Structure 1
Amino acid sequence: MSDISPKINSERLKRLFDSINKFGLNVETGGYNRIGFSDADLSVRKWFTEQMKGDGLAVHSDAAGNLFGRLGDADKPCVMAGSHLDTVPEGGAFDGALGVAVALECARSIKDAGIEPTVPLVVVATSEEEGRFGGMLGSQTISGQLPAGWVEAATDAEGVKLTEAMTVQGYAPEALEEAAWNKDSIRAFLELHIEQGPVLESENLSVGIVEGISGVLVLGVNLKGEANHSGTTPMHLRADAFTGLATIGAAIPGVIDRLGGEQSRITIGKVDIKPNFPHTIPGEADFTIIIRDTSADIMANLRKAIETVVETVAERNHLSFTIKERSYLPPQELNENIREAFVAEAKKRTLSYTVMPSGAGHDAQTMQAFCPSGLIFVPSRNGISHAPQEWTEWADIENGAQLMLDMIVRLITKKD
């Protein structure tokens, strides 16, 4: 490792971060809307491309919309660092965007220090991480992990097809498989992210060093009964889809108690009731059930139990049902060597830290199946994320950014 210890330029990092968040801002709510493959998403990507070019990085994009800016030899395996620029609807300023800004600031700081990397650094802004279409399209494309047939079948909550959304913005879905990186082309993947939870703040810790990431299973469920007059149809003769939905929701705590663990989460998300009229019994319910855990075995048990609940509830309420898997990202333990190196660098900086799991999905979990990967967290105020109230204190950002820079320098100056 080089004896040069570059420092983050905090003011420059803040300018970059604030500039990213000029895109997609809803001034009325304070939320951000850079939904995957929306106009705002494409606009921030074009802007960020020019920023990296201005820094002298070798920039290119791929068929998924991933952006790459390389510092160093074009032909050598690289260290890749970054996160995503897209948001959920009415999301916060920090989720994803902060990790991208920190990665570029690290590249800038390395150039400022005159460090010539022996291992190239690639800054990445991944595409469609927030799962508008159910997966993590960008990192799945990089790592060659797109499930067969998934791209063609994927739709968002409004029924828009992924292939259509990509084509409208000038991307070619049929070229995604060719965009996968070659084996051994990435030596390590690093990501900084806000925690999106309350642990670091509640324990007054500077950073979290992630040991494993929960898997995410998205099931689409349809319950079909019979719409009828709410005043003339006796209760025992109803085929009420909403009653079925509510009963399934009420069963979730019991399923968790019986089969889950500390990291288990089951959530009923997007719900569509038809005909959704005050005086009509709902005849149909479409909704998602999202299952998360750090154990694949526990996830499998939870899935089986939930599917049994749906079947039982449907039968009792005179409903037909379908359950379809929309996407599945398996749980992933992150690389132990990278984790220990982050711990060592945190100790050098005398940063307070904890080693912890992540309940939310991140690009690092997808990339870990392809190359050694690491993820660090900075605190989230009140644990809030995916909302306009999302916030991280700048002092915490400085600590996390410096730790990321220290780690990158360690890896890009490493001699084979």
Structure 2
Amino acid sequence: MKSLVLSSFFILFTINLFAQVRFSTDAIRVNEKRIDQRIQEFAKFGINDQGEPFRVAYSQGDIEGRAYFMDLMRKAGLEVHIDYAGNIIGKRAGKDPSKKPIAFGSHIDMVPNGGNYDGTLGSFTALEIIEVLNEHNIITNHPLEVIIFQNEEAGLVGSRAMAGRLKMDALSQKNASGYTIAEGTKRIGGDPERLPGAARKKGDLAAFIEMHIEQSKVLESRGIDVAIIEGIVGIEDWDITVIGLANHAGSTPMNDRQDALIAASKLVLAVNEVVNSYEGAQVGSVGKISVPSGAPNIIPGKVEMSLQMRDLSTDKIMGMFADIEERAKQIEKETNTQIVFEHLNLSSTPTFANKEIQEKMIQAAESLGISYMKMQSGAGHDTQEMAALGPIGMVFIPSKDGISHNPKEYSSPSEMANGANVMLHTVLLLDEK
């Protein structure tokens, strides 16, 4: 009987202790004020002579910003190093060193005259997670990694290198800093000659998650706190040449013209109509168009234009393209022109977020009373490259008026905290697993 009482007491004590730990974990929150203060402080790095933000990768502002960020990482107790690709990696040990790391982070470079939240928010959110765990004396089972990728804005350079997908011939390309990727990588502490050594293997990460501003205004317009990302869209590109007959604009009757620009204009409208005829969140754009003749007294004999379509389904993209081709054939007959499509070998395939991570993010949001919806990302992110190393997930927060890549870019402190809290609790839920 005494043994039974002691056993029951032990079970109740264990359950109570677990409940207390569970409660304390549920109760923790990020420091909203600290995140906002750091975003504002970081905005001071990279202001050019014209007073514009210019923390482009490899610029002096980028170098100074990276040094500042690494100093904060070290103060937070992270073991910090720069890999051969120039990525900043901060490690925090877990209880079980045999477990794979849970990683999170983003980038701190920007486009010329860009905003203060794109990438930077995801980076400071990653650091905030570490700070909060430190303050609550929480040691996770898994090791944790904060990863700050180099040069996201000019082609996901750092994350592609980590995924083993950055080709060596890309190192000769220049970005807006004026430096090639090879030169810039050296400037920030990497070693382009040893770039393959930055690649990590499939399965190296238990998970990689990232928070980002939405870069459109769906969340804002619907009054929803966060989006749980289902995947990052695939992108397919075509160059289009419309061939007509250049002729004198003054003496050629209207009904006797082979005007390539008229045909191109009809095709632009056809693209819009076809893409809108499909159900879903797919997009299609003609973002570039040029008339080589370029004179007011010449009927355009040739037009060069682009076509880009994005969706989580490659089959849907190619189905839309087939419909656009059919419309192009009709336009050719109507305008007595020729329309030639060239499919470019620049496509990116759709990347799907891990279902279990999505569920953990939803569980986190619901436990915190934060409203959410599911969404696909129409823009590329470092996270899509990390899918080569382990399961991925993303959280979006509202971006005022949908503005991004612009100094007017803004998310409020409370909006940032909502997303950061979902990220924090997702890490804790993943760690429990």
Query: Aligned AA for 1:267?
Result: S
1:52 corresponding residue in structure 2 = 73
Deviation string 1:161-207 (CA, Å, 9 cap, x unpaired) is: 9x934335526556444322123221001111112232322332222
2:285 corresponding residue in structure 1 = 267
Distance in 1 between the 2:402 and 2:248 partners? Answer: 44
Query: Aligned AA for 1:142?
Result: M
Query: Aligned AA for 1:105?
Result: E
Distance in 2 between the 1:37 and 1:280 partners? Answer: 45
1:290 corresponding residue in structure 2 = 308
Is contact 1:220–1:286 with CA below 8 Å preserved after alignment? yes
Decide which moves more: 137-146 or 179-188.
137-146
Distance in 1 between the 2:107 and 2:297 partners? Answer: 45
Deviation string 1:1-25 (CA, Å, 9 cap, x unpaired) is: 9544343222222222123222345
Q: 1:201 aligns with which of 213, 217, 220?
A: 220
Is contact 1:79–1:189 with CA below 8 Å preserved after alignment? yes
Name stretches of at least 5 consecutive residues in structure 1 with no aligned partner: none
Q: Tell me the CA shift for residue 276 of structure 1.
A: 5.1
1:30-69 matches, within 5 Å, as 32-69=53-90
Asked if 1:330 is matched to 2:349, the reply is: yes
Query: Once superposed, what is the RMSD of the aligned Cα atoms?
Result: 3.8
Asked if 1:11 is matched to 2:27, the reply is: no
Distance in 2 between the 1:91 and 1:232 partners? Answer: 49
Q: Tell me the CA shift for residue 298 of structure 1.
A: 0.5
1:101 corresponding residue in structure 2 = 124
Asked if 1:129 is matched to 2:149, the reply is: no
Is contact 1:220–1:326 with CA below 8 Å preserved after alignment? no
Distance in 2 between the 1:344 and 1:75 partners? Answer: 27
Deviation string 1:317-356 (CA, Å, 9 cap, x unpaired) is: 7678573525222223211111111111222212222233
Deviation string 1:17-44 (CA, Å, 9 cap, x unpaired) is: 1232223457979x74444455544443
2:9 corresponding residue in structure 1 = none
Q: 1:354 aligns with which of 370, 373, 396?
A: 373
Q: SS of the residue aligned with 1:343?
A: helix
Is contact 2:123–2:148 with CA below 8 Å preserved after alignment? yes
Name the count of aligned residue pairs: 405
Is contact 1:37–1:166 with CA below 8 Å preserved after alignment? no
Asked if 1:141 is matched to 2:157, the reply is: no
Distance in 2 between the 1:370 and 1:200 partners? Answer: 30
Distance in 2 between the 1:37 and 1:232 partners? Answer: 55
Q: SS of the residue aligned with 1:201?
A: helix
Q: 1:220 to 1:155 in 2, by over 3 A?
A: farther
Distance in 1 between the 2:60 and 2:372 partners? Answer: 39
Is contact 2:35–2:413 with CA below 8 Å preserved after alignment? no
Deviation string 1:89-146 (CA, Å, 9 cap, x unpaired) is: 443322221111111111122122222232111111223333x3xx433323222344
Is contact 2:185–2:191 with CA below 8 Å preserved after alignment? no
Is contact 2:244–2:338 with CA below 8 Å preserved after alignment? yes
1:166 corresponding residue in structure 2 = 182
Q: 1:246 to 1:11 in 2, by over 3 A?
A: same
Distance in 1 between the 2:85 and 2:279 partners? Answer: 35
1:16-31 matches, within 5 Å, as 16-25=38-47
Distance in 2 between the 1:383 and 1:20 partners? Answer: 22
Name stretches of at least 5 consecutive residues in structure 2 with no aligned partner: 1-17
The TM-score with structure 1 as length reference comes to 0.80
Is contact 1:216–1:361 with CA below 8 Å preserved after alignment? no
Q: 1:257 to 1:61 in 2, by over 3 A?
A: same
Q: SS of the residue aligned with 2:394?
A: strand
Q: 1:376 aligns with which of 392, 395, 406?
A: 395
Q: Tell me the CA shift for residue 285 of structure 1.
A: 5.5
The TM-score with structure 2 as length reference comes to 0.78
Q: 1:122 to 1:227 in 2, by over 3 A?
A: farther
Distance in 1 between the 2:192 and 2:322 partners? Answer: 33
Structure with greater proportional helix content: 2
Distance in 1 between the 2:323 and 2:168 partners? Answer: 27
2:4 corresponding residue in structure 1 = none
Q: SS of the residue aligned with 2:269?
A: helix
Higher alpha-carbon Rg: 2
